Amino acid sequence: MRLTSLTVENFRAYREPTTLSVPDFTAIIGRNDVGKSTLLDALEIFFNGAKLDADDAHIDARGQPTRISCRFDELPAEVVIDARAPTTLADENLLNPAGELEIVKQYDLTAKRIVPSVFAKATHPTADGGDDLLQLNNTRLKARVRDLGTDMQDVDQRVNGRIRRAIWDGLGDLEMEERLVALNAEDGKKVWTLLQKKMPTFALFQADRRSRDDDSEVTDPFDTAIKDAVKGLETQFDQIKEEVKKNVQEVAARTLEKLREMDPSLADELRTVFRAEPRWAGFKLSLTDDRDIPINKRGSGVRRLILLNFFRAEAEKRQETAKTSGIIYAIEEPESSQHPSNQRLLINALLNLSAAERTQVLITTHVPGIAGLLPQESIRYIEHDNDRHPRVIAEEQDMLTLVAEQLGVLPDQRVQLLLYVEGPNDVAFLEHASQLVGSVDLINEPRIAFVLAGGGNLKHWVNRHYLRDLGRTEIHIYDRDDQNGYQAYVDDVNARDTDDWATLTTKREIENYLHPDAVREALSITITIDDETDVPQIAARAVHDASGSDNTWEALTQVKRDQKTSRAKRRLCNDAMARMSTARLRERDPNGEVEGWFRRISDMLE
């Protein structure tokens, strides 16, 4: 299951329902005290049961319910409430109009003991006799059948799901409406119990940590790793649990049998009940230095450096291991206590991490330098409206202007040359390629600014916005892929009476310059690459096939295929390019086309 959005209502500063859409990488940006951390806290409450109190309600809505809702796609193909007849969320009418699972947790913060009421917000029957079937046990479902006179011929009445289907089919007009369906009793509760096991692990790394021996800034990464590992072994643990129950119940049965010989009435009153489920994640891991000093007693910069490299290691592991459970990493102010070079490393690690299967990353920041490293499509800007209520802005035409003005992002006046490409993946490819060619270092050269002609990075957009009328020399490098239609634009640039220069790749796309060995090492797949191969799509399909998914590539929606292809493209330009060598590049580019681009760039800087 993959998180697609979060909605909060009557939670701290958010009085009215406010929704945050959540792609694979989400950057929540805004000034201090605008409500960024509140959204991550809401996810911590939803997934991990963090505590609330009366003060968590909006100050003007005390006494009213607080709601935290999450939407999910990539849902399980079936739900096994009864092993004799697996069902689906769609068949149980538990999906919203968009075909997503939307879980609403509602809290009464005036109660002495605050526990959530759990609902599915779904398009569900409201017709009399068909609106509460998930809350009825088998006996009550059969009674409902008798009351309604439902035709039960050839229906297995031992299976609740089949009884529900027969009732719904018999009612005719179900009066379907979007409503809250309680998941608190009978099969509704069973569905929720099963869904909890399918939900992604959520790990929150906060900015303001305690300075104690059990400081979670250090322990949380490893606790998260333990939790994720345990989740991946649930099948084996369930087998162990059932074996233990079986053995203990046999002991109890023998004991009761002996008791029955002495006091039959007492023996008949007793039954075996397991009062608590086993907790497997009892492992603890800590780090100490060679003097046995706990790492959490070191400076905050060292502790955050540990965290940085935890994410770098996780990115590499999760990209090499396709069969991993879903996980969401949420990091407050990742730049905290870090040198700018480490900040860039961390952001790159998090972007790469979000490209792994079943992995999502959320960060918060108010620092312009971090905002400048982020893909435009990931940005969610939060600001106060005229009534001091926070609102989330995403995918609006003027969003980047707003962010630039509010955070003070300014162009780098050292820039002499603008390098136009299509998107952030091309930036990553060319930065790696510059290290192989050696004539110019695109990573550390302040005189060159990328401009993403197809959308993309905030810093690059800002440079384009403010420098377009400053007469900087331009180089344009675009894919030849005929669907892009860049040939006319290249011709226009080359027709200018300036030093500006534009070119299309001779191969289909920039990924076609990759060596298949680099792709194999980075993505653990084997594909054939020639000049016309649609490398991102073929790689996405190969990664999907290797993941062990229940769905075939053909069964995926076009939207889902596009998402996986975009993810593969990012990994190709980052991870596979990082494994390229000069020899591999020359094998794929024997005519030296890529080297020619960098000679042109270097000459224009002289």
Q: How many helices (H) and strands (E) does the chain have?
A: 20, 16
Question: pLDDT of 79-137, one tens digit each?
Answer: 888 878 889 999 999 999 999 999 999 999 999 999 999 999 999 999 999 999 999 99
Give the angle 378-382-384 at the CA atoms, nearest 5°.
Answer: 165
* Short-list 209, 227, 224, 218, CA closest to 286: 218
For residues 14 and 154, membership in a common domain is answered with yes
DSSP state of 29: E
State the Rg of the chain over Cα. 28
Given a contact cutoff of 8 angstroms between Cβ atoms, the answer to whether 160 and 79 are in contact is no
For residues 477 and 560, membership in a common domain is answered with yes
Question: pLDDT of 263-321, one tens digit each?
Answer: 777 667 666 666 666 665 555 555 565 566 555 555 566 666 666 667 666 655 655 55
For a pLDDT cut of 90, what percent of the chain falls above it?
44
CA distance 213 to 295: 9
Report the pLDDT value the prediction gives residue 216, as an integer from 0 to 100. 45
Report the pLDDT value the prediction gives residue 302, as an integer from 0 to 100. 65
157 domain-assigned: yes
Place of tokens 């099948």: 235
- Joined tokens for residue 561: 């295929």
State yes or no: pLDDT of 325 exceeds 70.
no
| Sheet architecture: strand order including 66-73 | 18-21, 2-9, 66-73, 101-107, 117-124, 177-182
For residues 493 and 544, membership in a common domain is answered with yes
Report the pLDDT value the prediction gives residue 212, as an integer from 0 to 100. 38
Given a contact cutoff of 8 angstroms between Cβ atoms, the answer to whether 367 and 335 are in contact is yes
For residues 137 and 261, membership in a common domain is answered with no
Report the pLDDT value the prediction gives residue 211, as an integer from 0 to 100. 36
For residues 228 and 251, membership in a common domain is answered with no
Instruction: Compute the mean pLDDT over every residue in the chain, rounded to the nearest whole number.
Output: 83
- The kind and range of the H/E element at 461 are helix 458-467
For residues 583 and 541, membership in a common domain is answered with yes
Given a contact cutoff of 8 angstroms between Cβ atoms, the answer to whether 349 and 356 are in contact is no
400 domain-assigned: no
Q: What is the 3-state secondary structure (H, E, C) of 282-294?
A: CCCCCCECCCCCE
Given a contact cutoff of 8 angstroms between Cβ atoms, the answer to whether 409 and 372 are in contact is yes
CA distance 274 to 249: 10
- The kind and range of the H/E element at 117 are strand 117-124
Question: Rounded to 5 degrees, what are φ and ψ at 368?
Answer: -55, -40
- Joined tokens for residue 358: 């079943």
For residues 143 and 107, membership in a common domain is answered with yes
- Amino acid letter, 162: R
Q: What are the angstrom distances between the C-alpha of 92 and each of 122, 304, 550?
A: 10, 46, 20
Q: How confident is the model at residue 354 (pLDDT cuts 50, 70, 90)?
A: confident
- Amino acid letter, 121: K
Mean pLDDT is lowest, of 126-130, 272-276, 370-374, 563-567, for: 272-276
Report the pLDDT value the prediction gives residue 255, as an integer from 0 to 100. 72
* Short-list 37, 39, 38, 35, CA closest to 22: 39
65 domain-assigned: yes
CA distance 100 to 459: 34
411 domain-assigned: no
Q: How confident is the model at residue 148 (pLDDT cuts 50, 70, 90)?
A: very high
- Amino acid letter, 205: F
Give the structural domain span for 564: 417-605
Q: What is the CATH number of the domain that holds 338?
A: 3.40.50
Question: In terms of C-beta density within 10 A (0-12 exposed, 13-18 middle, 19 or more buried), how is residue 55 classed?
Answer: exposed
What is the rounded average pLDDT of the residues 138-159?
Answer: 93
Give 410's Cβ-side CA count (13 Å radius): 4
Output the pTM of the full model: 0.74
CA distance 89 to 583: 52
Given a contact cutoff of 8 angstroms between Cβ atoms, the answer to whether 56 and 13 are in contact is no
Q: How confident is the model at residue 219 (pLDDT cuts 50, 70, 90)?
A: very low
- Amino acid letter, 115: V
DSSP state of 376: G
Given a contact cutoff of 8 angstroms between Cβ atoms, the answer to whether 196 and 204 are in contact is no
Report the pLDDT value the prediction gives residue 181, as an integer from 0 to 100. 96
398 domain-assigned: no
Mean pLDDT is lowest, of 101-105, 404-408, 552-556, for: 404-408
Q: What are the angstrom distances between the C-alpha of 91 and each of 24, 100, 164, 184, 263?
A: 28, 13, 10, 19, 50
Question: pLDDT of 158-204, one tens digit each?
Answer: 999 999 999 999 998 999 999 999 999 899 999 999 999 888 888 88
Report the pLDDT value the prediction gives residue 261, as an integer from 0 to 100. 75
Q: What are the angstrom distances between the C-alpha of 463 and each of 411, 477, 489?
A: 5, 17, 20
For residues 79 and 162, membership in a common domain is answered with yes
Given a contact cutoff of 8 angstroms between Cβ atoms, the answer to whether 187 and 134 are in contact is yes
The alpha carbon torsion through 219, 221, 225, 226 (nearest 10 deg) reads 10
Number of structural domains the chain divides into:
4
- Joined tokens for residue 259: 């008791």
- Joined tokens for residue 441: 């270092």
CB atoms within 10 A of CB 443: 11
DSSP string, 59-72: TT-TTSPEEEEEEE
- Joined tokens for residue 429: 């490819």
Mean pLDDT is lowest, of 102-116, 254-268, 329-343, for: 254-268
342 domain-assigned: yes
Give 215's Cβ-side CA count (13 Å radius): 21
For residues 425 and 551, membership in a common domain is answered with yes
State yes or no: pLDDT of 542 exceeds 50.
yes
393 domain-assigned: no
Question: Which is it for strands 18-21 and 2-9: parallel, antiparallel or unpaired?
Answer: antiparallel
507 domain-assigned: yes
CA distance 601 to 588: 21
* Short-list 372, 361, 370, CA closest to 452: 372
- Boundary (domain end) residue, out of 317, 351, 374: 374
For residues 214 and 117, membership in a common domain is answered with no
* CB-based burial, 146-167: b 16+ in 10 Å, e otherwise: eeeebebeebeeebbbbbbbbb
Question: pLDDT of 56-79, one tens digit each?
Answer: 999 999 889 999 999 999 898 888
* Short-list 590, 61, 76, 48, CA closest to 325: 76
Given a contact cutoff of 8 angstroms between Cβ atoms, the answer to whether 539 and 525 are in contact is yes
Mean pLDDT is lowest, of 217-226, 449-458, 486-495, for: 217-226
For residues 257 and 326, membership in a common domain is answered with no
For residues 445 and 583, membership in a common domain is answered with yes
What is the rounded average pLDDT of the residues 428-432?
Answer: 93
State yes or no: pLDDT of 213 exceeds 50.
no
Q: Is the dihedral of CA 447, 453, 457, 462 positive or negative?
A: positive
CA distance 309 to 346: 8
Question: In terms of C-beta density within 10 A (0-12 exposed, 13-18 middle, 19 or more buried), how is residue 380 classed?
Answer: buried
CA distance 596 to 584: 16
Given a contact cutoff of 8 angstroms between Cβ atoms, the answer to whether 500 and 443 are in contact is no
